[in-house]
Amino acid sequence: MKKNGIRDSGLGIRVSAASIVAAAIGIGAAAQPPGQLGYDDTPMQPGGRWHIHDGKRPQPPVVTPGVKNADPVPPPSDATVLIGTRDDLGAWQMTDGAPATWTMKGGVVETGKGLMRTKAEFTDFQLHVEFATPTTVKGDGQGRGNSGVFLLGKFEVQVLDSYNNPTYPDGQAAAMYGQHPPLVNASRPPGEWQTYDIVFTAPRFAQARLDKPAIATVFHNSVVVHNGDAFWGPTANRKIDPYTPDTAKGPITLQDHGNPVWYRNVWIRPIADRESAGR
C-alpha cells in the first residue's frame, strides 16, 4: 500500500521515487571529502583530543535494538502533539514565519525545501520523534537520509541513515552534532521507523553569562545513547558556536538537507524543575 510515495510492505518503507541532493545548508552537515570519513582541518573540540567531525575518532559500537515498533508510540495524556494522525501542520511554520510547506499525508510528513519549526517555543522538555529514511539506499556518509532535530532551534540531534554507513562519528545518527557521538550505534535498517526520546534541559544564564549548559539524555530506538551530556554550545557545521542568552528558549526545528526523510508521531511534554514546581 502506498502512502505519500511510500510503499508500506510491512517490513519498512520503500521509496517509489526520490532524489538525493548533495549540497548542504549552513547549519547542517557538509559533504565529506571523497574517500574520507571526516576532517582534520577543523578546530579542536574542548579538551583538545579530537577535531570537530574527526574521521579518525573511533566509531560507536553497533547495538541491535530490541523489538521494533511498527505502530506509533501513543503520547501520554499531558503531551502536546506536534505531528499526529491528522494531516495538520498547524503547529508548524517555516523559519521565516511563512506557513509550513512540507507535505503531510496519512499522518506522515516528508521533508521539503527549507527548515520547518514549531510556532511554540520551549525550555525544558521530553520530546518523542519517529522518523524513517528511504529503503532504496542512495549515497553514503552524510548524503544518506540526512536531516536533524534541533532543540530550541540551536542544538541538533542528527538524523541520518547510519546502518552500515560509516561517517565521522560526531555526525552519525543520534549524535549531538559536531560534539558528542552516540555511545552506541542503535540504528535500524533503512526504511524502518526509528525513535528518538530526548530529555532536554535548556541552558541557564545569570546576568547574561552562561551559568549551566544545555543538557540532553537521548534514547535511540529505546537504547540510551547520551546520558546527561552537555552541549559545548549551539551546534554548527565545522565549528561550535558560543552560548548567548537567546539560546535559553526556542522552537523544535526539523531540518531539510536535500535528502528524503519522513517524520510521524512527534510529541512534547514541557518539564518543570522541582524548585519552580514547589515539589
pLDDT in tens, 168-213: 999 999 999 999 999 999 999 999 999 999 999 999 999 999 999 9
What whole-number distance in Å separates Cα of residue 279 and Cα of residue 54?
A: 44
Tell me which residue of 148, 168, 140 sits closest to 28, measured CA to CA.
148
Is residue 252 scored above 50 in pLDDT?
A: yes
Among 21-30, 66-75, 164-173, 221-230, the minimum mean pLDDT is found in 21-30
Instruction: Report, as an integer, the average pLDDT of 82-87.
Output: 95
Let me know: does 250 contact 228? Beta carbons within 8 Å.
no
What whole-number distance in Å separates Cα of residue 240 and Cα of residue 233?
A: 6
Average of per-residue pLDDT values in the chain:
88
275: pLDDT confidence band, cut at 50, 70 and 90?
Answer: low
Instruction: Report, as an integer, the average pLDDT of 19-30.
Output: 37
| pLDDT (0 to 100) of residue 140 | 85
Instruction: Report, as an integer, the average pLDDT of 55-72.
Output: 91
Instruction: Report, as an integer, the average pLDDT of 63-67.
Output: 92
What percentage of the chain exceeds 90 in pLDDT?
77
What whole-number distance in Å separates Cα of residue 182 and Cα of residue 169?
A: 8
What are the pLDDT digits (tens) for 112-154? Answer: 999 999 999 999 999 999 999 999 888 889 988 899 999 999 9
27: pLDDT confidence band, cut at 50, 70 and 90?
Answer: very low
Let me know: does 34 contact 247? Beta carbons within 8 Å.
no
Instruction: Report, as an integer, the average pLDDT of 40-52.
Output: 95
What are the pLDDT digits (tens) for 204-224? Answer: 999 999 999 999 999 999 999
Please state which CATH number belongs to domain 2-21+39-69+77-273: 2.60.120.560
**Rg value, the chain, Cα:** 18
| pLDDT (0 to 100) of residue 31 | 52
pTM above 0.85, yes or no: yes
Helix, strand or coil, per DSSP, at residue 141 = helix
Instruction: Report, as an integer, the average pLDDT of 104-108.
Output: 96
Is residue 86 scored above 50 in pLDDT?
A: yes
Full DSSP string of 171-187: GSTT-BTTTB--SSB-P
Q: Which three cell numbers stand for residue 214?
A: 544545555
Is residue 161 scored above 60 in pLDDT?
A: yes
Domain spans of the chain?
A: 2-21+39-69+77-273
Residue 31's DSSP bridge partners are: none
Which amino acid does the sequence have at 159?
V
Full DSSP string of the chain: -EETTEEE-SSSEEESS-----PPPTTSPPPPPTT-SS-SSSPBPTTSSSBTT-TTSPPPPB---SS--SSPPPPPTTPEEEE-SSS--TTEEETTSPBP-SEEETTEEE--SS-EEESS-BSSEEEEEEEE--SS----GGGSS-EEEEETTTEEEEE---TT----GGGSTT-BTTTB--SSB-PPPTTS-EEEEEEEE--EEETTEEEE--EEEEEETTEEEEEEEEPSSSEETTEEPPP-GGGGSB-EEE---SS--EEEEEEEEE---HHHHT-
- DSSP letter (8 states) at residue 245: G
Is residue 16 scored above 50 in pLDDT?
A: no
The owner of cell 512534547 is 268
